[in-house]
Amino acid sequence: MTEQAIKQTGHPKGLWVLFGTEMWERFNYYGMRAILVLFMTKALLFDKVFASNLYGSYTSLVYLTPLIGGFVADKYWGNQRSIIVGGLVMALGEFVLFFCASLYQSSPDISTLLFFTGLGLMIAGNGFFKPNISSLVGQMYPKGDRRIDSAYTIFYMGINVGGMLGPFLCGLVGDTGNPMDFKWAFLLAGMGMVLSVIIQLLFHKKYVLDPDKNILGLTPTNSPKAWLNPLFIVFGLAAFSALTIGLLYLDVKVVPYLTYLLIAATIFIAFIIFSDKALTSIEKQRIGVIFITAFFVIFFWSAFEQAGASLTFFAEEQTQRNLGFFTVPTSWFQSLNSVFVVVFAPIFAWLWLKLGKYEPSSPTKMAIGLFLLALGYLWIAFGVNNVGTGVKVSMIWLIGMYALHTWGELSLSPIGLSLVNKLAPFKYASLLMAVWFLANAAANKLAGVLSALYPDGKTTNFIGYQMSNNYDFFMLFVVMAGVASLILFLLSKKLQSMMHLEK
C-alpha cells in the first residue's frame, strides 16, 4: 500500500450505497421500536414490567442472531445475499405486525400469535442483515487508511438519518392517541425495509468494491452448491425464523434462559477463535482487546437503551408534552438521539482527524463515551429531584439528556465498529463484528431487566439499591456508567499496547 493511498481524503461511492441501505433498514427498526412498548401497553394491554422484559428479550435477540448470520455469510452465502434475504424477512415481519395491530380488538388470540411471529421474523432477518453490512464498510479501504474512522462515522450518520425519520414518521401516523392507528406505523416501517433491499439490489455490484475494484460480499469460493439452492435458502430461513419465534416466546413466557445463553455463546466463540493455532500471539492480543472493550459497552448500551423502554414511559406520563397548540407524540423523543447524531457526527469525524497525533486511543474515546452517558443521567436526575408524584417536568430534561447521550455514543459506537475492523483477522471479520453485537445483546437484555425496575409509584430494588422515585432510578445509571468509565480509563494504556497499531 502506498503512502498516497493512505492519505486519500475522498470516500468511495460504495459507502453511500451502504449508507442508503442501512438508513432505510434503521428507519424500519427504530420506527417500529419507537412505538413498541406503547403498542404493548396501550393496545395489547401488557403491564409495564412484562412489556419491559419482552422489549429487553426482543432487542437482545436482535443483536444475538448476527452470530448465526455472520457465520453463514462468511462460509456459505456471502455478505450481499445475506443482506438481501435478511431484509426481506424483516419486511415480512413488519407486515405481520401490521395485521397483528389490525386484529388486536376483534381477535386477541390471533393478534398475540401474530405479535410473537412478527417480532421473531424481525429477529431472524436482522441476524443476516446487521453484521454483514457493517463489516463491508471497512473492506472498501486499504489496511491502515486513516479514513476508516470517518467512514464509519459517516455510515453511522446513515443509521441515524433513518433513526431520526423512523420514529418521527411512524409516530406521526401511529402514535396518535388512538391505539387502532399503531398498525400504520408497522406498515410504514415495512415499506422502508423494502426500499433498503431495493437499493442493495440495484447498486451493490456496481459500487461496493474493494481497493482493487473487486466486488465485495459475493458468494465465498468454496461454498457448497446446496446452500445456494433457492428452495434450501427459503426452507432454512423459515426454520430459523420458527426458532427465533420460539426462543422469544420461551424467554418471556416459560423460562428466562437468555442470560445463560449469552454467556454460553461468548465462551463458545472465544474458544473457537482462541483455539485457532493459525493465529499469532499479536492477533490474539488484538482479539482480546475486542472482547474486553465489548464487555464495557454492555454498561453503556444497557443504560442508553432505556430510550425504548423506561424513558418512553417517562416521556409518556411524566413529561409536559402539551405545547398549547400541539401535543408532542411520545415516540418523537426517540428521534432526538438521531437528530443530534446527524448534527454532531461531522463535528466528531472532523475532530478526530484534526487532533492528529494527539487523537485519543479508541479505548480512551470509549471511556469518554461512558462518562458522557453518566453525565446525561445526572442531568435528568437533577431535573426530577424533589418533584412531586404526578407532576410533569419540562421537555428540556429529556432533550438535554439525549444530547449528552449522543455525544457519548459518537465517542463509543462508531469507534467500536472501526476498532473491530482494525483488529479482526480477515477470516474472522464478520464473526468478530457479531461479537460486538453480542455485547449489545447482553446490554439490551439487561436494559429490559432494569426498565422493569422503573419505580412507577412503587419501590424497586437492584442488588440492594432501593429506588422509590425517578431520581433514585436515574442515579443507578449515573453510578453504573461512571464506574465503568473510570475503570476503562485506567485500562486504556494497556489496551492500546495490546492493539499493536502505529499511531
Domain ranges across the chain: 11-499
Q: What is the pLDDT of residue 142?
A: 84
Q: What contacts 480, CB < 8 A, 6 or more positions away? A: 299, 302, 303
Task: Give me the DSSP letters along 333-379.
Answer: HHHHHHHHHHHHHHHHHHHHHHHGGGPPPHHHHHHHHHHHHHHHHHH
Least confident of 34-48, 336-350, 427-441: 427-441
Residues 6+ apart with CB under 8 A from 197: 84, 87, 88, 91
pLDDT at 346 over 70: yes
Phi-psi region of 237 (alpha: psi -120 to 50; beta: other; left: phi over 0): alpha
Q: Rounded to 5, what percent of the chain is helix, strand, coil? A: 80, 0, 20
- State yes or no: pLDDT of 215 exceeds 80: yes
Is the pLDDT confidence value at 10 over 90?
Answer: no
C-beta neighbour count of 490 within 10 angstroms: 10
209: which DSSP letter?
A: B
Spatial contact of 84 and 110, defined as CB atoms under 8 Å apart: no
pLDDT of residue 146: 74
pLDDT at 298 over 90: yes
Compute the mean pLDDT over every residue in the chain, rounded to the nearest whole number. Answer: 89
Q: Distance between CA 33 and CA 42 in Å, rounded?
A: 15
Residue pLDDT, tens place only, 270-285: 888 888 888 888 888 9
The Cα 216–Cα 136 span in angstroms is: 7
Task: Quote the pLDDT of residue 107.
Answer: 93
Assigned CATH for 11-499: 1.20.1250.20
pLDDT band at 502 (very low <50, low <70, confident <90, very high): low
Tell whether the model's pLDDT for residue 1 goes beyond 70. Answer: no
**pLDDT of 478:** 97
Higher pLDDT, residue 134 or 139: 139
Alpha carbon separation from 354 to 145, 346, 351 (Å, rounded): 15, 12, 5
Q: Looking at the predicted structure, is the pLDDT value of residue 349 above 90?
A: no
Most confident of 112-116, 137-141, 156-160, 265-269: 112-116
Q: Is the pLDDT of residue 503 over 60?
A: no
Distances (CA, A) of 410 to 22, 188, 235, 300, 394: 17, 28, 40, 12, 26
Q: For 13-27, 70-84, 261-275, 414-428, which range has the lowest pLDDT when averaged over its residues?
A: 414-428
What pLDDT sits at residue 35? 95
Cβ-based neighbours of 482, under 8 Å, separated by 6 or more? 370, 371, 374
pLDDT digits (tens, 9 = 90+) for 420-441: 878 888 878 767 877 887 888 8
Mean pLDDT, residues 352-363 taken together: 84
Nearest Cα to 223, choosing from 400, 55, 18, 78?
A: 78
Element housing 224 (H / E): none
If you average pLDDT over residues 33-57, what whole number do you get? 94
The three state secondary structure string of 451-485 is: HCCCCCCCCEEECCEEECCHHHHHHHHHHHHHHHH
